[in-house]
Structure 1
Amino acid sequence: MNGLRAVLKKDFAQIFKDLDADFFCIQETKMQAGQVELDLPGYYQYFNYAERKGYSGTAIFTKHQPLQVTYGLGLPEHDQEGRVITLEYPTFYLVTCYTPNSQSKLKRLPYRLDWDHAFREYVMQLSAIKPVIFCGDLNVAHEEIDLKNPRTNHHNAGFSDEERQSFTKLLDAGFTDTFRYLYPEQTGIYSWWSYRFHARDNNAGWRIDYFVVSNALQDQIQDAKILTNIYGSDHCPIELDTTSLGVDA
C-alpha cells in the first residue's frame, strides 16, 4: 500500500466495497497501533506493526473468523518489522507477507536471503500440517518475463540472481505461483511501478506481488488477477479466486 493512511485519503473505501473480497491482505501499512480506526462492517481486523514508526507493517481484513492468529515467524531477528500475519482455518493457512527489500547496491541482500530461508522453512512447516496460501509483496521478479527491462535491472534489488534462485527454491519446496500457473506466457502485466520516469504511464513495471499456494491446492485455483486499473499506490492489488475452502470454523 505504501501507507494505509495515505490510501485512505484516496479511493480505498470504495475499492474495498467494490471488491467485496473474503480476505484483504495488506502490506506496508506504515503505521502504529491506534493511528487509524477503520470502519469495515462484517470484517475482522488483524494488524502486525513494525517497531520502527512509519515503516513496513501488515494487516488482514477478513469476513471469516480464524481458529488462530499468529504474528511473525517466531524468530526475534525477523519479527521486529511487522512483516507476517498467519490465519489458521480448518482446511488451510492464510499468510500475508511483506518481504524485506535488499536495497540499493544489494546492501541488505545477506539479511534478505536469511529472511527467505526462514520464511521458506516457516511455510514448509505449515504446509506439512495443512495447505497454505501466502501472498504479498515478495520483492522479487522471478523471471525475465516478470519485468519490463530485465537486462538493465540485472543485479538490482529484486532481480539479483540470488533472490531469483531463492524464489525458485521456495517454489520447488512444494508451492505454486498462481498467476504463472494459469498464465505461463503472459507478458506486460506488472504489479509495481517506480514513481520515477513516468514508469506506470509507460508500463515499465515489475511483477513482485504474488499469491502462492501449496501444490495440493492447484485444482482449486479459479483465477489469479493483477488489477492494473486500480491506482492509489506504487503497487496495484492482485486477486486470487478459488473454489470454496471451508473457511468457516
Structure 2
Amino acid sequence: MKFVSWNVNGIRACLKKGFLDYFNEMDADFFCIQESKCQDGQVELDLPGYEQYWNYAERKGYSGTAIFTKHTPLSVKYGVGDQSTQEEGRIITLEYEDFYLVNVYTPNSKRDLARLDYRIEWEDELRGYLQSLDEVKPVIYCGDLNVAHEEIDIKNAKANIGNSGFTEEERGRMTTLLGSGFTDTFRYLYPTQTDTYTWWSYMNKVRERNIGWRIDYFIVSDRLQEKIESAEVHASILGSDHCPIVLKIK
C-alpha cells in the first residue's frame, strides 16, 4: 500500500500549483493533507475512486486536515481529547481491519514560544491516544509534526537550538514517543542520511540552497518495521513550502 502525506499550505492555492497532477501521478491508496485552510463548501475536489474525509477548522483560512482514500474505513474519528484541538481540525483517524491511520497537523509553538505549554500538553495527550490505539492494532501516524527531531533533521542546528520546532521540550516529546513503541520510518531506513528536508522558509532562495527542516513524518508501530518497503521525500515537488512524503508498506 502507498501512503502520501503533504502539508499543502492551503489546498485552494495548491490546486493552482499542480496538486492534481501530483495526486494523479502518485495513485496512492491513502493521500493525507494538512493545513487545508478551507471551510466546508469552499473547494470541491473531483477524485474518482476516492472517498474524502475532511476535518475543517472553525477559524476561516486556518489549519484543517483531510484524507483521500480508495479504501472504506470501518470507522472515522475527528479530533481527540481537548476540544480546542477539534476546533482547529487537526486530527483524523481512520480505522481499518489491520491498522489505524492517524493524520495530524501538530500545533506550532509560535516564534516567541507563546504556545509551547499548549504544545507540550498536546504531545502528551496525543501520545496517550496513539498508545491506546496501538494496544488494539498497529498505527500509521503521519503529518506535519512541527518538530525537527535530531540535529541531522535541520540544516543549521546550532543556530536553531531553542527555537520553535527545535526546542528541548518538543524534541524530547518526539524521543519519548519513539521510545514507547513507535518508529520514524525514514530514519529507520536512512539513519545517517543528511540534507533531506520537508519544509523550507519562503525567504529568498532558501529552498534553492536546501536550507530546510525535516518536520513531516510517517511514524508506525514498531511491529510494522519489517513491513516497511520504502520511505521517500519528494523534495522536487513544489506547490507548498512543504514537500510530500511517501510511505510504501506491505
Q: TM-score, normalising length from structure 2?
A: 0.96
Q: Residue 74 of structure 1: CA displacement? A: 3.6
Match of 2:125 among 118, 122, 131: 118
Secondary structure of 1:133's match?
Answer: strand
Q: Residue 193 of structure 1: CA displacement? A: 0.1
Q: 1:109 aligned to 2:116?
A: yes
Matched residues in 1 for 2:88 and 2:161: separation? 27
> 1:203 corresponds to which letter in structure 2?
N
Matched residues in 2 for 1:40 and 1:148: separation? 36
Q: 1:156 aligned to 2:169?
A: no
Q: How does 1:163-182 map to 2 (within 5 A)?
A: 163-182=170-189
Matched residues in 2 for 1:232 and 1:78: separation? 26
Q: What is the aligned-residue RMSD (CA, Å)?
A: 0.7
For residue 247 of structure 1, what is the aligned residue in structure 2? none
Matched residues in 1 for 2:120 and 2:20: separation? 36
- The gaps in structure 2 that reach 5 residues or longer are 1-7
Secondary structure of 1:223's match?
Answer: strand
Q: How does 1:138-157 map to 2 (within 5 A)?
A: 138-157=145-164
Matched residues in 2 for 1:104 and 1:147: separation? 17
Q: Residue 77 of structure 1: CA displacement? A: 3.5
> 1:216 corresponds to which letter in structure 2?
R
Secondary structure of 1:176's match?
Answer: strand
Q: Residue 105 of structure 1: CA displacement? A: 1.8
Matched residues in 2 for 1:28 and 1:231: separation? 15
Match of 1:16 among 20, 23, 26: 23
Match of 2:74 among 54, 67, 79: 67
Q: How does 1:232-247 map to 2 (within 5 A)?
A: 232-243=239-250
For residue 214 of structure 1, what is the aligned residue in structure 2? 221
User: 1 or 2 for the larger relative contact order (CA 8 Å, sep ≥6)?
Assistant: 2
Q: Residue 79 of structure 1: CA displacement? A: 1.5
Q: Which is worse superposed, 68-77 or 227-236?
A: 68-77
Q: How does 1:8-47 map to 2 (within 5 A)?
A: 8-47=15-54
Q: In the alignment, is the contact (CA less than 8 A) between 2:155 and 2:213 conserved in 1?
A: yes
Q: 1:96 aligned to 2:103?
A: yes
> 2:156 corresponds to which letter in structure 1?
N
Q: 1:201 aligned to 2:192?
A: no
Q: Residue 172 of structure 1: CA displacement? A: 0.9
How many residues of Structure 1 are paired with residues of Structure 2 in the alignment?
243
For residue 50 of structure 1, what is the aligned residue in structure 2? 57
> 1:204 corresponds to which letter in structure 2?
I
> 1:227 corresponds to which letter in structure 2?
H
Matched residues in 1 for 2:15 and 2:200: separation? 20
For residue 82 of structure 1, what is the aligned residue in structure 2? 89
Q: In the alignment, is the contact (CA less than 8 A) between 2:81 and 2:125 conserved in 1?
A: no
Cα shift readout 1:71-117 (whole Å, capped 9, x = no counterpart): 00143132210000000000000010000000012111000001001
For residue 132 of structure 1, what is the aligned residue in structure 2? 139
Cα shift readout 1:7-57 (whole Å, capped 9, x = no counterpart): 011111111110110000100000000001110000000000111110000
Matched residues in 1 for 2:152 and 2:82: separation? 34
Matched residues in 2 for 1:195 and 1:117: separation? 31
For residue 3 of structure 2, what is the aligned residue in structure 1? none
State the identity %: 62
Matched residues in 2 for 1:154 and 1:197: separation? 22
Q: TM-score, normalising length from structure 1?
A: 0.96
Matched residues in 2 for 1:29 and 1:191: separation? 17
